Chains A and B, each alone.
Chain A
Amino acid sequence: MNNEEPTLEDRLRDPQTRREAFAELLKRFSEPLYWQIRRMVNDHDDADDLLQNTFMKAWTAMDDFRGDAKLSTWLHKIAINEALSHLDKQKRHATESLDNTEYSAINTIEADEWFDGDEAAAHFREAIATLPTKQQLVFNMKYFDEMKYEDIAEITGTSVGALKATYHFAVKKIEQFLRSRN
């Protein structure tokens, strides 16, 4: 007789237990996904909107989740896609209004009311904002989330070699930026 408890994935697939399981999913993944998004878009309100979109998309697409990928990988993919789409829209808007996207990211950081770091932390955020978007993503996942390259590769669909080169370069560029500030 099989006495194994149904997994979260099993309960999410079953329409009878989906809602209750979704509450558990929110408890487990809200925080890591929020930070994933927030580090990319910088602004708390934008991160909040994008996190809501992420979970709404996950909810509506739950029937399509077959369990081939890990639940966390699937959710991270949706969250990153939401953040990248948002940044693309911002970039298009900045291009239309002849704004510099890096400059507007630094403005967002300076205006962020949900920040209690010191000057070094503020410079650090600015340094990260000077990187191209996808380099920021790789840097954040490696530096802050301390994820393995193999796990990042699974989420982003890129190779470990490309990720290592990207992270290595991102660190060099951040060091250069910080040296110029000191």
Chain B
Amino acid sequence: MSDKDNLQSVHGLPKSNGMTVPEGYFDDFARRMMERIPETVPVPEKVKLSTWQKIRPYVYMAAMFAGVYLLMNIFTLTAGLGPNSPDSSAPLFADLVNTNTAGYVDDYLSISDIDLYDDLYEAGYEIPESL
């Protein structure tokens, strides 16, 4: 007898758990959702880029790194620290790394075998060899 058959025959459990929804809920839900999404989907147009537009991001990035390098040197000089001081640059880089992490949307499911086994071990469950 399977686990499910056992639950149903010994404890008289129904296939359903008695949950219901308002009448016509799913039709109404589909209508409400369609009202929320835009009528048209913008089709991205291909724009021909000039040479300057193509290299502009790289130029800006180089300028940014040059600026950061200069700022670091100015701070270390004004603070009277040597250029190889281990603590002088770390906070600046940490700030730079942290600026772009907000707003990241992750739809990856946060479940692992470890989570499942943790729950079992916490309850003192021993896994049968037949599994």
Within the complex, what minimum Cβ distance (angstroms) separates A6 from chain B? Answer: 16
Within the complex, what minimum Cβ distance (angstroms) separates B13 from chain A? Answer: 5
Residue of A nearest to B119 (CB): A132
Quick check: A157 and B40 within 8 Å, CB to CB? Answer: no
CB neighbours of A120 from chain B (8 A):
11-14
Select B7's contact among A80, A116, A157, A174, beta carbons within 8 Å: A174
Residue of B nearest to A155 (CB): B109
A57 contacts B by Cβ under 8 Å: yes
Quick check: B41 and A143 within 8 Å, CB to CB? Answer: no
Residue of A nearest to B30 (CB): A26
Quick check: A157 and B109 within 8 Å, CB to CB? Answer: yes
1/0 per residue A1-35: CB within 8 Å of B?
00000000000000110110011001100110011
Within the complex, what minimum Cβ distance (angstroms) separates A21 from chain B? Answer: 10
Chain A-chain B contacts (Cβ-Cβ < 8 Å), number: 158
Select B123's contact among A78, A80, A138, A169, beta carbons within 8 Å: A169
Cα–Cα distance between A59 and B108 once the two chains are bound (Å): 16
Within the complex, what minimum Cβ distance (angstroms) separates B115 from chain A? Answer: 6
Query: Which parts of A32-62 form the interface with B (CB within 8 Å)?
Result: 34-35, 38-39, 44, 48, 51-52, 55-57, 59, 61
CB neighbours of B112 from chain A (8 A):
157-158
Quick check: B21 and A15 within 8 Å, CB to CB? Answer: no
CB neighbours of B107 from chain A (8 A):
57, 61, 77-78, 81
CB neighbours of A59 from chain B (8 A):
37
B50 contacts A by Cβ under 8 Å: no
Q: Is the interface of A mostly helix, strand, loop or mixed?
A: helix
Closest 6 CB pairs of A and B: A117-B18, A121-B18, A15-B41, A171-B3, A162-B113, A132-B119
Q: A15-B42, A114-B22, A171-B3 are in contact. List 20 more A-B contacts (CB 8 A).
A: A22-B37, A26-B34, A39-B19, A52-B32, A55-B33, A59-B37, A114-B20, A121-B13, A124-B14, A125-B17, A143-B4, A144-B15, A156-B111, A157-B112, A159-B113, A162-B116, A165-B125, A169-B125, A171-B6, A178-B11
Residues of chain A touching chain B, judged by Cβ–Cβ distance below 8 Å, are 15-16, 18-19, 22-23, 26-27, 30-31, 34-35, 38-39, 44, 48, 51-52, 55-57, 59, 61, 77-78, 80-81, 84, 112, 114-118, 120-122, 124-125, 128, 132, 134-135, 137-138, 142-144, 155-159, 161-169, 171-175, 178, 182
